[in-house]
Amino acid sequence: MSQTVTIDSSNHLKSLVLERFGHEPDDLVQQRLSAAEQYFTLDWPRLERTPLKKRRLDDIPIFSAPLQPKPVAPSDHALIEIRLDNNYLTHCIVPDALKQKGLILEPLQQAIERSAVRKLLGTLTGKITDRIGALNQALWHNGVFLSVPANLNEPIEVSIGHHATDEVRALIMRNLIVVGPHSRLVVTERLITEASANKMLLSEATEIIVQDGGQVEFGAIQQCASHVEGFIRRIGQIHQDAVLDWNIGEFGSSLAVSGHESHLAQPGATTRSTTVFFGSSQQHQDYTAKSLHQAPHTTSNMIARGVMKDRARSIFTGLTQIDQGARGSDGRQKEETLMLSDESRADAIPSLVIDERDVYAAHAASAGPVDRGAIFYLTSRGLSEEDAIRLIVHGFLAPVIDRIPHIGLRDEVWAAVERKIRE
């Protein structure tokens, strides 16, 4: 049985940080201690439609004693793969030829020994504004550093896996991904946990930097069990003529406060995002996607579709922001939600903030119940109601899921949808 600790004071937290992370480079330790101090002064994120008070997040023993790693065989997801199981590195496979070209894939804890990596870490997540941010910065102990060198001709495909057994009480991680000029990366992150009777806190902060002319497809599929209270924040910075595509499938955990943010920082930067979410039982999903146009001639296209059943609840907030001076930019978003039960609820909240005249911006949003007339129509041909709903859900999600370019991820998203329908 593992020991777990509930933190009750700032000094207590700081001593735990020193005990666990004191060996790290000094500047990082200082950063952690400063975050630990803020942990008690800052509150959990204040979300208009997601009250966190009654979830008693403070009662989750986040500082667990080390567990045994549970060795798992490498998957066949990609040639290049890193796996972290119960917070331990279990696999890290990079072909020698790519290593020689300068590709780096390693646990972030190892990478931060180098000052260049430490300098980049946190540049996109920025100042800590709430307790989950403080918690992540103070206690992250897991995550990946991936650096793709410039001018690789072939697209690089990388799989990142995070796995937790039922004993894990906290998964607190940071990922840092840097893609050099004119290289292409397809990276897929998979979050999976075993079910447990006790709550687990998940905190992920991912930063992606795509340098000039680079092209990145970032895919992620979250299938945590229902004891997980999750906070996921992913931010991409897109340089000149570079592209960052997000393909996100949100299916698991009890609470999921997640989102992705694209900083279109230099002219010609492009981002596209596809988000698919499916809530069942009493899941609560609060997703925020942001496209921030900070430079001229930048393009964004955000698409999201979600299905809610049982008593699940979702909020999808989309923000397209075009700063003054970002002329010639084009920002679009569209979100749609389908509710399969009277008890489920879905809000789609699009917003545009435009400070430049010479731009194109558009948004559309809808949330509605499944069409009872359509169900009658399909059942009148002999399909069971269950099959009719499955067909309708498939039809609703297909245009979005089939946009996911990575076939492996697309199939996994379909499989997750299929499972959620049956659930």
Partner 1 sequence: MSTPVLEVSDLRMQIEQKTILNGLTVTVKGGEIHAIMGPNGTGKTSLAQTLMGHPRYTVTGGTVRLDGQDVLALRPDERARLGLFLAMQYPSEISGVTTANFLRAAINAKRGEGNNIGLKAFRDELDRVMAFLDMDPTSANRYLNEGFSGGEKKRNEILQMLMLHPRVAILDEIDSGLDIDAIKVVAKGVNSLKGPDFGALIITHYQRILDYVHPDFVHIMVDGRIVKSGTAELALELDKKGYEWVRTELAHQS
Q: Does 362 bind partner 1 (CB under 8 A)?
A: no
Binding span for partner 1 by CB under 8 A among 170-178, 272-280, 353-361, 374-382: 374-382
What is the size of the binding site for partner 1 (CB under 8 A)? 24
Q: What is the number of alpha carbons within 13 Å of residue 418 lying toward its C-beta?
A: 6
Which 8-state DSSP code applies to residue 265? -
The residue from 22, 376, 415, 423 that contacts partner 1 (CB under 8 A) is 376
CA distances from 150 to 165, 210, 243, 410 (A): 37, 11, 15, 28
Take residue 32 and report the two structure tokens written for it.
């952690």
Q: Does 341 bind partner 1 (CB under 8 A)?
A: no
Helices 10-21, 26-41: crossing angle, 10 deg rounding: 160
Dist CA 392 CA 340 (whole Å)? 10
Take residue 353 and report the two structure tokens written for it.
């903030």
Q: Does 75 bind partner 1 (CB under 8 A)?
A: no
Q: Report strand pairing: 215-223 vs 104-107.
A: unpaired
Binding span for partner 1 by CB under 8 A among 16-24, 117-125, 339-347, 391-399: 391-399
CB of 334 to partner 1, least distance (A): 14
- Which amino acid would we find at residue 196? S
Q: Please, which of residues 54-73 interact with partner 1 by CB under 8 A? A: none
Dist CA 390 CA 403 (whole Å)? 20
Binding span for partner 1 by CB under 8 A among 113-121, 230-238, 360-368, 379-387: 379-387
The residue from 73, 154, 380, 407 that contacts partner 1 (CB under 8 A) is 380
- Give the residue with the Cβ less far from partner 1, 126 or 382: 382
Q: Does 6 bind partner 1 (CB under 8 A)?
A: no
DSSP 3-state percent helix, strand, coil across the chain (nearest 5): 25, 40, 35
Q: Does 395 bind partner 1 (CB under 8 A)?
A: yes
The residue from 383, 403, 405, 408 that contacts partner 1 (CB under 8 A) is 383
Taking the chain, what is the end-to-end CA distance rounded to the nearest angstrom?
31
CA distances from 234 to 12, 85, 258 (A): 29, 21, 8
Q: Does 342 bind partner 1 (CB under 8 A)?
A: no
The residue from 391, 403, 405, 408 that contacts partner 1 (CB under 8 A) is 391
Residues that bind partner 1 (CB under 8 A): 371-374, 376-385, 387-388, 391-392, 394-399
